[in-house]
Structure 1
């Protein structure tokens, strides 16, 4: 079997085990057995448990970001691109709940270098959202700090909804419904900002 195929099988197995058991409790024996490979071969290809987990986090982050970028087509208007990007995000996390669990729960729980890889994913999504907000609102209506703040808020909300949607016990919304929820918050709010309607700080 080509090494590329064998490594993919190992990563697939590792994502399942890490998502189910967490990084600390996951064993290389279980990963090797699920991948149909010997433990020495897993170590030969992927060096260590830490390196294996890092490879899983990086792969899942890259695939998710690629799915969002592919959905945001440059020929579409900004509103449609944001809608398509949100739908792609929720569709991907719903279709790959174990990969999302590794990114959203496991990688963040064990510090560096894993949390840094998730932060890179978030920055990539935030960059996409900032550009869409700036194109839709115009730099005259929003400054860079406001656009960035809105993008971070939107991404944080998307992550929370994805966590809920991939929780087995939750009454999870469909990808389309989750995306519509954020569009109602983000786009309606953005229209208000463009039209000069802002929440003012009330001082006692």
Structure 2
């Protein structure tokens, strides 16, 4: 593919994502249609499917683009230490929580994912990718501090991600319960509280079943 064709394809790709963001925000995930996204972008329906094989993949690609921008900002700020990155993290959370279409679209997509196995799998894969990036950031900060934590980096990443999701929903429903800097202050307290001597904690594993357990199960 020539450079000009590749550039045109990239522009169309971004134009479709911009159109999808507008339509999803206005209609919600369930009511949004590929046809309307195509009309908004000024292209054919076939062009949409040439870039994204389904509405589900288009929506996930939109989420991936937003996440990539947010993580690039956070990772740049982390170069100066976690405390320096906190204001940027707070701003990102507030941008989503205080935007009706972002917060509501995220909640709607989550519910749709629970009801639709196909879309649920796409959404779960996206969440795993987000989690991996968060865990990498936790690891970098732990190593920068030269400390260990009482939980694994993966567990801390899970808690931090869940905290962000929960605060977005709380802020949207009851703004007065979530101060502008609550997310950052909580993350700082979490990391400080988890600092511990010795190696990082190993993930808990379920106890092995003995003969007695099997006997009771068969009873």
TM-score, normalised to structure 2, is: 0.63
Correspondence list, 1:120-139, <5 A = 120-136=129-145, 138-139=147-148
Shift of 1:30: 1.6
Residue 5 (structure 1) aligned to one of 11, 15, 34: 11
Partner of 2:205 in structure 1? none
Correspondence list, 1:50-129, <5 A = 50-73=56-79, 76-81=80-85, 83-84=86-87, 86-87=89-90, 89-90=92-93, 93=96, 98=101, 105-106=108-109, 109-110=112-113, 111-129=120-138
Measure, in 1, the Cα distance between the counterparts of 2:67 and 2:100: 13
Measure, in 1, the Cα distance between the counterparts of 2:178 and 2:143: 28
Measure, in 2, the Cα distance between the counterparts of 1:153 and 1:88: 19
Matched pairs, number: 185
Q: CA RMSD in A?
A: 3.6
Measure, in 2, the Cα distance between the counterparts of 1:155 and 1:53: 20
Shift of 1:20: 4.6
Whether the 8 Å contact between 2:135 and 2:156 is mirrored in structure 1 is no
Change (3 A) 1:129 1:96: farther
Measure, in 2, the Cα distance between the counterparts of 1:174 and 1:2: 44
Cα deviation per residue 1:54-91 (whole Å; 9 max; x = unaligned)? 32233223222222212211xx244434x256336426
**5+ unaligned residues in a row in structure 1: which ranges?**
195-204
Larger Rg over CA atoms: 2
Measure, in 1, the Cα distance between the counterparts of 2:15 and 2:98: 18
